[in-house]
Amino acid sequence: MGENVSNPEGAANLLRRAGAVDASATVIGDGAVAVRAGGSGWELLAWSPSSAPPVQELDGTATELGGGTLTVAKPSRANAARLRELVPWLRPRLVASATSAGTGDRLGVATPGQAAAFRANPGIFPIFAQQSARELMRSGRTFPDVVDAATVGVLASGWRSGYGADADHLKTIADIDAGIAAGCTMFTADPIELVPDLPADAPEASIAAAFGSVPWAALEDDPAAFASRYPKALDLEGGALDLPPAAIRAAAARFGRAVVQVAAMYRHLVGRVGEGSVDFEVAVDEIEYRTTPIDHVYIATELSRLGVRWASLAPRFVGDFEKGIDYLGDRAEFEADVALHAAIASRLGGYRLSVHSGSDKFSIYDAIARATGDRVHLKTSGTSYLVALETVAAAEPELMRRIWGVALEAYTAARASYHVSATVTGAPAPDKASARELIGLLHDPNTREILHVTYGAVLNGSATSGAVSAIAAGLGDEVRSAVWTAREAYWKNLAIHIGRHLQPFAVAAAEQPQEGVIR
C-alpha cells in the first residue's frame, strides 16, 4: 500500500486492500470511501489525495498514505450524515416502484443480509431504515440511530438502487418531528387509539352513541353533508360495492376521530417538508376488529376530502396477523378480502395496500401478490431479530438460554401492546432446555411469538422489573456482540429468510410495467 495513488479507482483499490468490504469501496471525486468490519462493529475508511480533501472531513484518525490521507473513523452520527452528503445513493428517498417492502432492523446490522435478499428478488423497493415509535422506546434507539445504521449498511452492501426510511406507527406530532429530523422519507400515521372498540356490526345503540361523538367541526363537515356525500354503490372492477347508509354511518362512528388525527399529522408533515416530498402511509391494522370494505371507502373518501395524499393504506384484514408467525384464518376468505380492498384502492386513488405484521405469512403471500398485482407494500419488523436469535442459538447456546429466561419473565408485560396469542404455559424451562430445544424455540409458533415481542427486555432491559432486570443487565450488549461475531452466518441466514418473503412479490412485480415515484 506504499505506492502513490493517481486515480479514483486506485483509491478504491487501496481501501479494499486496507480491509474494506469489497462492495463498499465507492469513488468520490479523486478519492474513495468504504466500510470494513472491525472487532466490535463497522469502521469507515476514507482516502483523499492531498489536493482534494472532501472525504477527510470525516471525524477520525488520519494518516498519510499513497500521496494522500487515509482517515479511519467510527460511524458516528456526524460521519453518517457526512456520508449521505458525499454519496447520493446513501440518502433515503421516496419509493421508486409500486412494490416495496420494509424489513426492520432492531440490532442495526441487518442491512447486508437484507440487501442480498432484495438483490436476489429484483423489482421491489426496500425500506431498510424502518422502526416504529414503540420499538424505539423499548429498544432504547432513536430514528437517527436507525437511519445511520442503514446508511452504513447500504454502503457496506454496495446497494446503489435506492432505499427508504420509514418512521413507523407514529401516534403524535412529536413523533412526526422526530422522523423529519432523522431524514425519514416515509411516515406511517397510526391513529388506532382513537378508534372505539366496536365492530362494524355492533348493536345500533352502540353505533349511535359513537356516532354522537363524531367531531364534525374538526372534520370540517356536518351530518347533513355527510349523509348526502356517498352514493348507493361504488363501481369497482368486478362489480359494484353496495354502500348502505347504516354501514357508512357505522364507519364514521368508528373512524371519524381517527381521520381527524391523520389529517392533522399529514398537514403538519407537509407544512414542514412540502407536499410530495414524502411517502405517507395510513395504518389502522392494529384495531381489534377488521376494517370492512365500507370502512375503507369511508377512510379514503374523508381523507381525500380533507386534502390528505397518501401512498399506502394498511387495513386490518380478515383473520389474524400475529407477530412472527404464519397467517391464522381462512385463506380463501382472506384472498377475497384483500382482493376487495385492492379494488377499492385502485378505484379511489391507485395507492398501495400495505400489509402490516407481514413477517412469516408465507401461506398468503401468493394471494396478496395475485390480488394487488404490483401495488403493495409488505411490512416486516421483528423477523430479522428472530433470525439473529436463531444465529445466536446455534453459535452460543448458553447465551440463548439467558435470552429465553428473560423473554419468559418479560412476556406478560411485553405482550400488552401486541396482537399475539402465545402462552408461557408448557414452554420449556430455560435451565432444562437442551441446545437443540433452544434452537427449536425459533421454530415453534408459540415460543417464537414470545421471543418476537420481548426484544425490549432482551436488548434494553425495558418492560422488566426486579429479578428480570438483574438477569437482563448487560444482555443486550452480549447479544449484539454475538451477532456481530457471527455476522456472516447471520447475513446468509437473513438473505434466505427475507428472500422467502420477497420472492412471490418479485414474481408479481416482474409481470407489471415499472412506474415512477408514487405520490
Asked if 139 and 456 touch (Cβ cutoff 8 Å), the reply is yes
What does the alpha-carbon distance between residue 121 and residue 517 come to, in Å, rounded to a whole number? 20
Q: 514: which 3 cell numbers? A: 415499472
**Phi and psi of 207, rounded to 5°?**
-65, -40
Place of cell 468490519: 37
How far apart CA 192 and CA 285 sit, in angstroms, is 8
Query: Chain centroid to CA 94: how far?
Result: 14
User: First and final CA of the chain: distance in angstroms?
Assistant: 48
Please, what is the Cα angle at 130 between 313 and 322, to 5 degrees?
65
For the beta carbon of residue 209, count every other beta carbon within 10 angstroms. Answer: 14
- Rounded Cα–Cα distance for residues 422 and 238 (Å): 39
Q: What is the DSSP letter of 351?
A: P
Nearest to 18 by CA among 39, 37, 4, 41: 37
Cβ atoms of 128 and 186 within 8 Å: the answer is: no
Where in the sequence numbering do the catalytic residues fall? 168, 281
Amino acid occupying residue 104: G
Cα gap 195→27, rounded to integer Å: 51
Question: Which amino acid makes up residue 260?
Answer: V
Question: How far is it, in rounded angstroms, from Cα 508 to Cα 462?
Answer: 40
95, 97, 103, 106 alpha-carbon torsion, rounded to 10°: -20
Are 121 and 516 contacting, i.e. CB atoms less than 8 angstroms apart? no
> What SS3 state is found at 437?
helix
